[in-house]
Every structure is written in structure tokens, then in C-alpha cells.
């Protein structure tokens, strides 16, 4: 008799254990979906592209494609921050100078991106300009993640709702065609979409971006 009850008892214990874990799991899921986690994902994808660029040799046929992708990622990211993230957090942050500096850094990055768009890939200044852009962006990322993000986290804002708004706007930008890729190799296209959203239905039609 005891042996017959064991499987049921084990099953009940597993369900109880799963129930106990579910609030913590839900909290982790919400944290992954909040705006700070989403923006950090953007940072990580661009830093990965910078590392790939550093490993490339001059004359690599994919260099211009990688640069194009990185610039597109940065333009979308900057637009999302300027339209949604910065205006929302400005209301709650006392250290407004941090946001002013971040916006100036955005303008510097956008200026370098425009320079890259005017240069041919075989121009000696092309790789040098992208290297300078990478340095600017990585400095900006460090400032944002080490100075701004912790303050936003402490401000007790609805970061999940902000993240949902940001992702909805990203979807609009991708579907608009304004940031469409041109000639991106298949292995690089998917990186334009955050990993957590690659399998979502609303991104299936824009995966080539």
C-alpha cells in the first residue's frame, strides 16, 4: 500500500514546491522584461558587434555590413531612449545633469553615424570612424548602466510598463521600414531583435530587420 501512495505523494510535493517557486519566478520574469533589462540587452548586442569588428582584418567583406547593423541598432536604441526612457525618468531624477550628458553623447554618436554613411567602406577613415564611435558608445553605456540605471531602479517606477511601451515602439520602427537592413547576411539579421522577442508572433514578419 505504501508503495502505491508514494508516486501521488511525490507529485503533490512537486506541485507544492512549484507553487512556492512561482512568485519568485514571476518576479524574475518581470525583471527580465523591465525597461532597464531591455536597454541592457541593446547595449550587450552592440558591444558584441564592436568585439566582432575588432577581430576583423582590413578588407573583410562583411565589415561594412557589420557597421551598418551596429549603426542601425544604435539609431533605434537612441530613438527609444529619447522618445520614451529619458522623458519618463527625467521627472523622477534629481541628477538632471546625467541625462544632459547622455543626450549630448547621443548627439555625438549620431554625428559619427552620419559620417560613416557618407564614407565608402574602403576609405581609410571608415574603420577609424567606427572605432571612435565604439569608444563613444562604450563610454556612454558605462555611464548609463553605472550611474543612471541604479537611480532609476531606486525611483520605484513602473519599469515593466515602460518596457512594454518601449518594445511596442521598437516594433513600430521595425515595421515602418525606416531602419530596414540592406544586404545583411542571415547570421547577422536576427541580432537586431532582442533575444527574448525573437520567437514572439509580432516579430516574425520583421525578422529580416
Q: Do residues 105 and 183 both lie within one domain?
A: yes
Mean pLDDT of 74-86: 97
Residues 20 and 40 in one domain: no
- The residue that leads in pLDDT, 139 or 13, is 139
Instruction: Kindly state whether residues 29 and 39 are assigned to the same domain.
Output: no
Contact 193, 76 (CB under 8 A): no
Alpha carbon distance 161, 33 (integer Å): 9
Q: Are residues 164 and 202 in the same domain?
A: yes
Q: Are residues 11 and 38 in the same domain?
A: no
Q: Is the pLDDT of residue 200 over 90?
A: no
Domain that holds residue 60: 34-206
Residues 137/46, Cβ–Cβ less than 8 Å: yes
The pLDDT of 100-121, averaged and rounded, is 95
pLDDT bracket for residue 31 (50, 70, 90):
low
Residue 108 has a pLDDT of 96
Regarding whether 43 and 5 lie in a shared domain, the answer is no
pTM of the predicted model as reported, rounded to 2 decimal places: 0.72
pLDDT for res 96: 81
Q: How confident is the model at residue 203 (pLDDT cuts 50, 70, 90)?
A: very low
Residues 23 and 47 in one domain: no
What are the two backbone dihedrals, phi and then psi, of residue 142, each rounded to the nearest 5 degrees?
Answer: -60, -45
Name the residue with higher pLDDT: 116 or 208.
116
Distance CA(44)–CA(161), nearest Å, equals 22
144 and 46 belong to one structural domain: yes
Please indicate, yes or no, whether residues 8 and 99 belong to a single structural domain of this protein.
Answer: no
Same domain for 62 and 149, yes or no, is yes
DSSP 8-state code for residue 205: G
Q: Cα separation of 65 and 79, whole Å?
A: 21
Answer yes or no: do 73 and 24 share one domain: no
The three cell numbers of residue 33 are: 522584461
Check whether residue 64 and residue 132 sit in a common domain. yes
Rounded-to-integer distance, Cα 154 and Cα 76, Å: 26
The structural domain count of the chain equals 2
E-assigned strands of the chain? none
Tell me the C-alpha distance between 143 and 149, whole Å. 9
Amino acid at each position: 500500500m505504501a508503495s502505491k501512495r508514494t508516486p501521488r505523494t511525490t507529485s503533490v510535493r512537486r506541485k507544492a514546491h512549484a507553487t512556492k517557486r512561482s512568485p519568485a519566478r514571476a518576479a524574475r520574469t518581470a525583471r527580465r522584461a523591465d525597461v532597464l533589462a531591455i536597454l541592457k540587452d541593446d547595449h550587450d548586442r552592440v558591444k558584441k558587434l564592436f568585439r566582432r569588428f575588432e577581430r576583423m582584418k582590413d578588407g573583410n567583406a562583411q565589415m561594412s555590413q557589420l557597421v551598418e547593423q551596429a549603426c542601425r541598432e544604435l539609431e533605434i536604441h537612441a530613438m527609444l531612449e529619447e522618445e520614451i526612457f529619458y522623458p519618463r525618468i527625467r521627472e523622477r531624477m534629481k541628477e538632471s545633469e546625467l541625462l544632459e550628458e547622455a543626450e549630448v553623447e547621443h548627439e555625438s554618436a549620431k554625428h559619427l553615424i552620419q559620417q560613416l554613411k557618407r564614407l565608402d567602406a574602403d576609405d581609410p577613415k571608415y574603420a577609424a570612424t567606427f572605432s571612435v564611435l565604439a569608444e563613444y558608445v562604450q563610454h556612454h553605456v558605462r555611464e548609463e548602466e553605472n550611474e543612471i540605471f541604479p537611480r532609476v531602479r531606486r525611483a520605484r517606477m513602473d519599469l515593466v510598463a515602460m518596457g512594454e511601451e518601449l518594445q511596442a515602439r521598437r516594433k513600430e520602427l521595425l515595421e515602418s521600414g525606416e531602419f530596414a537592413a540592406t544586404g545583411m547576411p542571415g547570421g547577422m539579421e536576427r541580432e537586431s531583435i532582442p533575444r527574448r522577442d525573437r520567437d514572439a508572433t509580432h516579430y516574425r514578419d520583421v525578422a529580416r530587420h
